[in-house]
Chains A and B, each alone.
Chain A
Amino acid sequence: MITDEDTPEDGNEEDGGFDGYPTKEFFINMLTKDIDLIPAIIDLVDNSVDGARRTRESDESNFEAFQVSLELDPDQFRIKDNCGGIPLDRARQYAFRFGRPKDADFESGSIGQFGVGMKRALFKLGTEFRITSTSNEARFQIEVDVENWSDPDQNWNFEPDELEERGFDSEETGTEILVRELRDEVSSYFGQERFRNRLRDELKSRHMRTMQKGFSIRLDGQPLEPRWPELLQSEEISCAFKKEDIVRGDSEIEKTFYVGLGDSTEAEDAGWYLFCNDREILGADKSEQTGWGYDGRIPRFHSEYNHFRGFLFLETEDGEALPWNTTKTGVEAGSRFFHGLREEMIQLMDPVISFLRAVAKEDEEESPGADAIEDAELAELPDLDIDGNQEFRAPNPNVERRPDKAHIRYSKPLQKFEEVKEELGVQTKKEVGEKTFDFYYRLTCD
C-alpha cells in the first residue's frame, strides 16, 4: 500500500510557514460525523443501484436481473451485488478519491453522483475493509487498514492489492465490500433487532421504486418486499393525478403527482412523499417545505389531516437538475425548481385539505364526507382508475348544485376527442359532451 509519492504532510515549516494540510484523522472524523449509520449503509446500496443503472440494457424501466445483499454481523459487515462492478477508470480517477473532480464524466440519472458516499460509509463502519470489484474489463481488490492509511507518512492514494485486466462475463461482474474491525457502536447496533427493522423499513421506502422495477435487496438472507402506496377511490372519491414533462434548457424531467386520501390510522404515514429518480427523498413530510403552514392556504399539519397522501415522482437523465441536497436525504430548499414544485403541491393539496376540514366539522347524523371515506376502497397507485390528468374529487356538502341539472365533468385522451368532435361536426368541448350524452340517451332511455 505504501508508495513513493510525496506526502502532502511535508509542510512549509522550513520556510517559517504553517502546515495547512488537514490530517487524515481530521478528515475521517469530519467526513463520518455528519452521517448516521443507516444513511451510510443506504449510500452503499445506492452505489449498487447506480451500478445497475449504468449496466442495464436500453430498456430503461427494468432492474430485474440485479440484486444486492447485505449481511450484518457483530464482527463484520458485507455487501455484495451483481451490478456491474466499479469500472477501472472510475476506480482510478475518483472512486477512491474524495469529492468528484469537475471533469468527471457526467453520469446520466446517477443518484450517487457526489462521490463521497462509499468512502464515508466505509470509514463510518469500521477500520478494515476489502473491496473486490469485477467489471467487464477488470477485476481488482483493495484492502485497507485505516490505521495504516491514516499514518501521516502515507499519501492519500489507495493502491490495489490485486489487479487483473482482462474481459469478464457479465454474470461474473459485481462488487463485494467487506468491513471488519467494526467500530464499537456499529457492532452494538448490528446486534439489535430494532436497528435491523429500521434499516429494513428505510431501505423499503427509499428504494421502493427500484424494487418495484425488479431490483432485489436482501438483508441477512431475507428479501425485502416492495409495496406500492395506496389511495382511496370510489364513485364519489378519486385522487388527483398530474403528469407532465418539464423541458427547461437541455434537461427534461418527468413529473408525476398522485394526491388523495390514504388509510388514516397512522398520522406518521400522512404527508408528502418525494421521489427523485426512484429514490425517496422526503417521506411523510408535514413541514413547511411541502406547503404545510407556509402561507396560510394550507394550515400546519393536524391529526384532522391524517388521511392526506401526496406523492411526487421526478425522473430524469440529468441528475443534477433534481432539487435534492448533497446527502440525498432532503431537498435543496433554496432551489427555484423546488419553489415551483411547492406551489404545485399546495395547489393540489388544497382541495383535499378543504375536504378533510369539512369532514372534521361534520356531525354524527349527517356526515356525507365521512361516509364517502368509509365506502371507498384502497388501491395501489398503478391500479387506480386514472385516465389522464384529473382533479381531486370528493363530496362537498357546501355546494348547492343547479337544482335540476347534473354537471358532468371528465377528461378523455385528446386524440379520441378530436375524432369524435369531427364526427359530430361541432366546435366546442361542451357540444361534444352534450351531443354524446344526448345520443346515448336517445338510444337507450328515450
Chain B
Amino acid sequence: MCPSYRDVDFSLRPAKAVARKVVMEAVRTLVRGPGIDIRSYQYLGLGGIHFVDFRMVHREFGIDNMTSFEKDRDHKSRFRFNRPYGCVDLIFQRSHEGLATVSWSSPTILWLDYDGMIDKDKLNDVSTFLASAPSGSLLFVTLNVRPEVDPTRLALGEEEVKEKALTQFKRRVGAENVPSDVDPEELIKDQPSVAYRILDEHVSTKIEDLNGSRSDDSQRRFDQLIHLSYSDDADMLLWGGVLSDKEEVEDLASCPFEEMEFYSPGNEPEDIVVPSLTKRERRWLRSQLPSPAGEGVDQDLIQERDVERFERIYRFFPEFIEARI
C-alpha cells in the first residue's frame, strides 16, 4: 500500500479529464480540414447533470446544435435548470431510444460516454450511428471495463467462475456478437481487450453490411483514431473514430489525424496514467518540456516513471484550483 500522498485525488477524476481533452483534440484536428464547416455540426452526448463536454464543445467550437440524452425522467426540472446553454436540447430517453429520434441531416459528433460495461444496447447505438450519420461524423465511446466477475473468486472454483463469466457476458452482449474464440479467462483478467474486440468486430461487420446496398462511389468506412485505457476509480476504455464515404473523403483527407496527440489506431490501447506530482514539481518539469525533462533528478525527489508519465500528458494535464468566489 503506497503512502497516501502518492495517490491522486480520485474525486476529481484527473484521468477522465485527460481523456476528455483527447476527445477535444480529435475534434480540433477535424476542424483543421479546409472542407470542414464545424459550425454546421451537431453534438450529441450523455451530458448528465454537469454537461462538461457540452460546455467544452460549445465554448471552443461554437457548435450550437446540441442534444443530451438523459434517462432520469423523474427529475426533469433539475436537468432543465442545469442546462448550460440555451442551445442544448434535452431528450429524456436512453440513448438507444433517443438516437432514433434525432435528426441526422447534419454531420455529427457523438460521444457515448457510458458509465456501464459493453452490452447489446450500446452496440446498437453504434450501429445507429454508422447507418445514420453523414460522412465526416465522429464517434467516441467510453466503456467501463472492469473484470466480468470478481477475480478473487477465481481461487474458489476456477472452471465454474469462468463459465459464469462467459454466460453472463453472452447474455449481456448478445451471443451472436461474441466470437467463438473468446477466452473466458480474458473476461476476468483482460476485459478491456475483449470489449475492444467486440466493438471493433461489430463496426467492421456493420460497415460491410451497410456497403452492400451503397454505390461504389459512396462506400462507407470507419477509421479508428483513439484507443485508450485509463482509470480513476474504475477501469475505463475510450475509443473513437471518423466515418467517411468514399466520394467525400477529400474533405477529411487533409485533417492531420495521424499527427494528433494520442492518435491510436491499433488493437492495443494506449494507457493514460496521471502521475501524482505536486504543483511545484509539475511546474519545474514543465519549465523544461518539451525537451527531455527531469534529467539527473534525484530519485528520492521524483521517480523517473512519473517523469515519463508526465511528459506523455503534460499538455493535457488537468490543473485544479480552489478559488474563493
Contact = CB atoms under 8 A, between A and B. Distances in A.
Contact of A337 (B104, B127, B213, B217): B213
A399 B86 contact: no
A343 interface: yes
B210 interface: yes
A398 B92 contact: yes
A340 B105 CA distance: 20
Main secondary structure of the interface of A (DSSP, over half): mixed
Interface in A213-264: 244-249, 255
B299 interface: no
A361 B261 CA distance: 47
Given A255-B213, A347-B131, A405 B105 contact: no
A249 B216 contact: yes
Interface string B77-113: 0001000001111111100111011011100000000
Contacts of A336: 212
A400 B76 contact: yes
A418 B43 CA distance: 26
A344 B211 CA distance: 10
B39 interface: yes
Contacts of A90: none
B80 A400 contact: yes
A340 B90 contact: no
Given A354-B100, A427-B37, A428-B37, A341 B212 contact: yes
Contacts of A429: 40
A18 B211 CA distance: 50
A343 B213 contact: yes
Interface residues of B, number: 41
B287 interface: no
B76 A339 contact: no
A347 B105 contact: no
Interface in B163-200: 174, 176
Contacts of A347: 128, 131-132
B4 interface: no
Interface in A424-439: 427-430
B171 to A, nearest CB: 13
A343 B98 contact: no
A400 B89 contact: yes
A400 B215 contact: no
Contact of B209 (A245, A340, A398): A340
A8 B174 CA distance: 55
B304 interface: no
A295 to B, nearest CB: 7
Contacts of B206: 343
A382 interface: no
Contact of B100 (A296, A337, A353): A353
B249 to A, nearest CB: 17
A92 to B, nearest CB: 39
A320 B41 CA distance: 40
Interface string B119-143: 0110010011001100000000000
A237 B127 CA distance: 26
B100 A401 contact: no
A290 B39 CA distance: 36
B89 A340 contact: no
Nearest to A393: B103
Contacts of B103: 391, 409
Nearest to B120: A296
B92 A340 contact: no
B37 A405 contact: no
A350 interface: yes
Given A337-B213, A343-B206, A402-B86, A354 B128 contact: no
B214 interface: yes
A398 B131 contact: no
A355 interface: yes
B210 A399 contact: no
A351 B100 contact: yes
- Across the A-B interface, the 4 shortest Cβ-Cβ residue pairs: A340-B213, A340-B212, A350-B100, A347-B131
Interface of A: 244-249, 255, 295-297, 335-344, 346-347, 350-351, 353-355, 357, 391, 396, 398-405, 407, 409, 411, 427-430
Given A354-B101, A400-B90, 17 more contacts: A247-B216, A297-B100, A336-B212, A340-B210, A340-B212, A343-B212, A343-B213, A344-B131, A347-B132, A354-B97, A396-B101, A398-B93, A399-B89, A399-B91, A399-B101, A400-B76, A403-B86
18 contacts: A246-B213, A246-B214, A246-B215, A247-B217, A248-B215, A295-B127, A295-B176, A297-B127, A343-B213, A350-B100, A398-B91, A399-B90, A400-B76, A401-B89, A409-B105, A427-B37, A428-B39, A429-B40
